[in-house]
């Protein structure tokens, strides 16, 4: 009987697999994405966002709404908000009685505000009435107030000028700054806490346990290229809830009438502001411990010299966990020889003696904790792709979001050991109908003997000994990294290719972020050097294993992946076809036209000058354009400021005027990352059509070979 049951089970499993269909690009766009997970103080509920595409007025719009699920797993998840424009940033009040979220409701011009609803459901009511969008917020520990961040509104004169199109702007001169306000939950009164132009607030404020202070991060300027960012403490003058003069409806200046920036020290009526970080560079994401003794944040120690305008350039460094002792007023850098990975966004455990975070560890995203008593890091999970965590008030229950090679992100709960993961949601049941190829984490030796890692997505129905057309997808960054997670998405829609008989290769060359500081910085002054060889030797390894067909190879990438693709076609002819997406092609012109030249300064030894310009030029695809023979598709967002459109124009003109097969497509309104439904669908389909045409021939299909 037992043998019969096993046979019947195998037959049923095989039949189920046969009834599944290949994935399509429509399937990619049908995936509902989970955004964040917040557990209730009592550990009984989890709220989270679900993002999906909806049909609206002859187009498709992205909408996020808040869902709720019980942690005991006994009832299905249900949607609890239904805003026309979506709802996000869901939080529980510290007493567990309310759920809050950010939403733009009302007219087409309505700004995003904080709304509050009962835990039991019912109609939500608007807490804030800021003139501009609320970008982040956090509840005070006693649930009587909410600190929120919003941008200073334009003056009436500025708005009038914009309306009549007298709206010229000084480049890197006309800034708008973000500041912190406090809203009283009972009265809805709003009080401005920070002001001025000495810095702009970034991220979510973090309250002290007694509710008298909060910590926040702020940048010296709103410019992305300026890496001067610090951590501050605001001591509220009146911590009873009505912290100063009412400012409801008046968001243009401080309630007291003063418009100058509050300096460090007791100079403001609403709060005394004190800068506690001392690093010249980037510090942010502060989190106050539950025992009130310590503030944790992440920082990048920066010893570079200031540029002539006083700004700080980037450094190629993993963000470190910093601990500020409030009593001693000292900062501890927790870097140890045993742990030099990114410290992520710190989350305190309930006793205030451990800081937990999620970080990349080789081909996975793992949960780690730092113990303040022992000064040691510990890895809490193994071979997981976790995206974020939230801890109940008693510390016994942890909610997290996690995906897997065959599953999109879902909500899970576990105990602090992470040994008993329980899945609570099934947000994308349609995946049961879709065939998915298996993934494998692979390693190989590069040309200099260094071990490199990547993820291989195998074709559906993979058979050992058969050779498959292989798509190489270079990641962005350059400090990005691929993990062994869900592959029905991304730039190319990997599982769609697997369903069509392709192998898809996702390499993590030197410069990737998941392998420690040494590997992260290994491509400084060497873009297109060791990283290029790492990918090439990875392809060699797949060919040697008999998986990749050496006559049917293609190379694509976006951003730095686009750079790597453009560079690759100038260095080798082994690829039949390429797609350069938002790629850097001329490093000299890129430096002078993009919004973060500080990144290139960090990777190329400084600004372009007599000493560094040879490297900028030598590692530019345009300097070697005469060598290209590969048919190349070029895709670019028309409004991209990160990698300006000139980079695409240069590559296209260089190829076109040399008689090479090329096509350049711009996507209106898109920046560096695409946000529109039809553009994302067109990009995936266009990449597939171009690659298959030149790899398999017109109308060709995959033909795996023995």
Res 10: pLDDT? 43
**548 within 8 A of 463, measured Cβ to Cβ:** no
DSSP, res 699? T
**467 within 8 A of 704, measured Cβ to Cβ:** yes
Is 603 a member of any domain? yes
Is 109 a member of any domain? no
Q: State how far the alpha carbon of 163 is from the alpha carbons of 71, 141, 157, 160, 167, in Å.
A: 51, 43, 10, 5, 8
Is 550 a member of any domain? yes
Is 400 a member of any domain? no
Q: What is the tally of structural domains in the chain?
A: 1
Is 446 a member of any domain? no
Q: How many CB atoms lie within 10 A of CB 699?
A: 7
User: How far, in Å, CA of 356 to CA of 37, rounded?
Assistant: 15
DSSP, res 638? T
Q: State how far the alpha carbon of 619 is from the alpha carbons of 307, 475, 562, 584, 658, in Å.
A: 24, 18, 14, 10, 20
User: How far, in Å, CA of 208 to CA of 59, rounded?
Assistant: 45
- Helix 560-571 with 530-544: angle, nearest 10 deg: 70
Is 85 a member of any domain? no
Res 242: pLDDT? 42
User: What is the value of pTM for the model shown?
Assistant: 0.92
Nearest to 683 by CA among 25, 51, 62, 27: 25
**Tens of pLDDT, residues 247-264:** 333 333 333 333 333 433
Is 117 a member of any domain? no
Strand partners, 390: 399
**Tens of pLDDT, residues 27-65:** 999 999 999 999 999 999 999 999 999 998 889 999 999
**247 within 8 A of 181, measured Cβ to Cβ:** yes
User: How far, in Å, CA of 135 to CA of 143, rounded?
Assistant: 20
Helix (H) or strand (E) holding 598: helix 597-603
Q: Which residues of 102-135 are buried (b: 16+ CB within 10 A; e: fewer)?
A: bbbbeeeeebbbbbbbebeeeebeebbebeeebb
**Tens of pLDDT, residues 368-423:** 999 999 999 999 999 999 999 999 999 999 999 999 999 999 999 999 999 999 99
Low-confidence ranges of the chain (pLDDT < 70): 1-18, 238-269, 699-706
Instruction: Read off the CATH number of the domain in which 520 is found.
Output: 3.40.50.1820
Is 7 a member of any domain? no
Domain residues for the domain of 549 are 515-696
478 prior amide bond cis, ω within 30: yes
Sequence-ordered list of residues with C-beta below 8 angstroms from that of 123, at least 6 positions apart, any chain: 117
Strand partners, 278: none
Quick one: three-class SS letters along 34-92? EEEEEECCCCCEEEEEEEEEEEECCEEEEEEEEEEEECCCCCCCEECCCCCCCEEEEEE
Res 6: pLDDT? 44
Res 702: pLDDT? 56
């Amino acid at each position: 009987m037992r043998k019969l049951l096993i046979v019947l089970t195998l037959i049923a499993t095989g039949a189920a697999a046969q009834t599944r269909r290949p994935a399509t690009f429509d399937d990619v766009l049908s995936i509902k994405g989970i955004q964040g997970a917040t557990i209730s103080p009592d550990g009984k509920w989890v709220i989270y966002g679900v993002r999906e595409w909806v049909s609206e007025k002859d187009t498709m719009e992205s909408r996020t709404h808040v869902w709720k699920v019980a942690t005991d797993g006994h009832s299905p998840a249900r949607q609890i908000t239904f805003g026309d424009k979506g709802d996000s940033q869901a939080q529980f009040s510290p007493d567990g009685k309310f759920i809050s979220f950010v939403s733009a409701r009302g007219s087409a011009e309505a700004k995003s505000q904080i709304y509050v609803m009962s835990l039991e459901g019912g109609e939500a009511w608007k807490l804030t009435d800021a003139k501009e969008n609320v970008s982040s917020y956090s509840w005070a520990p006693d649930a009587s107030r909410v600190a929120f961040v919003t941008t200073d509104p334009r003056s009436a004169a500025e708005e009038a000028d914009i309306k009549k199109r007298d709206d010229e702007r000084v480049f890197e001169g006309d800034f708008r700054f973000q500041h912190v306000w406090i809203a009283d939950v009972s009265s809805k009164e709003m009080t401005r806490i920070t002001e001025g132009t000495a810095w702009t607030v970034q991220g979510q404020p973090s309250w002290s346990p007694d509710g008298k202070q909060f910590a926040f991060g702020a940048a010296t300027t709103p410019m992305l290229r300026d890496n001067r960012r610090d951590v501050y403490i605001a001591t509220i003058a009146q911590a009873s809830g009505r912290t100063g003069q009412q400012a409801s409806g008046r968001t243009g200046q401080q309630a007291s009438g003063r418009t100058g920036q509050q300096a460090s020290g007791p100079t403001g009526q609403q709060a005394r502001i004190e800068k506690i970080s001392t690093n010249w560079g980037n510090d942010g994401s502060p989190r106050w411990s539950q025992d009130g003794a310590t503030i944790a944040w992440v920082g990048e120690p920066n010893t570079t010299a200031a540029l002539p305008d006083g700004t700080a350039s980037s450094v190629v460094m993993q963000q470190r966990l910093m601990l500020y002792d409030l009593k001693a007023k000292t900062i501890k850098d927790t870097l140890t020889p045993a742990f030099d990975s990114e410290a992520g966004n710190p989350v305190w455990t309930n006793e205030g003696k451990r800081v937990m975070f999620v970080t990349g560890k080789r081909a996975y995203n793992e949960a780690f904790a730092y113990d303040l008593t022992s000064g040691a890091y510990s890895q809490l999970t193994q071979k997981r792709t976790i995206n974020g965590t939230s801890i109940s008030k008693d510390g016994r229950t942890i909610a997290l979001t996690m995906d897997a090679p065959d599953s999109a992100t879902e909500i899970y709960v576990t105990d602090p050991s992470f040994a008993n993961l329980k899945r609570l949601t099934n947000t994308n049941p349609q995946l049961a109908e879709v065939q998915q190829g298996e993934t494998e984490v692979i390693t190989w030796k590069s040309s200099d003997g260094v071990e490199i890692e990547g993820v291989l997505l195998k074709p559906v129905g993979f058979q050992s000994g058969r050779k498959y057309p292989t798509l190489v997808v270079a990641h962005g960054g350059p400090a990005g990294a691929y993990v062994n997670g869900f592959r029905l998405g991304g730039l190319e829609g990997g599982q769609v290719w697997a369903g069509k008989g392709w192998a898809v290769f996702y390499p993590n060359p030197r410069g990737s972020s998941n392998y420690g500081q040494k590997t992260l910085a290994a491509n400084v002054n060497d873009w297109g050097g060791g990283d290029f060889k790492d990918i090439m030797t990875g392809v060699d390894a797949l060919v040697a294993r008999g998986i990749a067909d050496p006559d049917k190879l293609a190379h694509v990438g976006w951003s730095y992946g686009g750079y790597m693709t453009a560079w690759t076609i100038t260095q080798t002819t082994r690829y039949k076809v390429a797609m350069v997406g938002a790629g850097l092609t001329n490093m000299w012109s890129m430096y002078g036209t993009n919004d973060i030249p500080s990144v290139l300064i960090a990777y190329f030894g400084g600004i372009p000058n007599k000493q560094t310009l040879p490297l900028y030029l030598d590692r530019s695809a345009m300097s070697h354009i005469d060598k290209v023979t590969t048919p190349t598709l070029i895709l670019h967002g028309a409004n991209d400021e990160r990698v300006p459109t000139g980079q695409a124009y240069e590559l296209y003109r260089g190829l076109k005027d040399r008689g090479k097969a090329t096509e350049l497509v711009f996507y209106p309104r898109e920046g560096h990352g695409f946000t529109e439904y039809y553009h994302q669908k067109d990009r995936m389909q266009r990449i597939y059509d171009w690659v298959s045409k030149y790899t398999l021939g017109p109308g060709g299909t995959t033909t795996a070979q023995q």
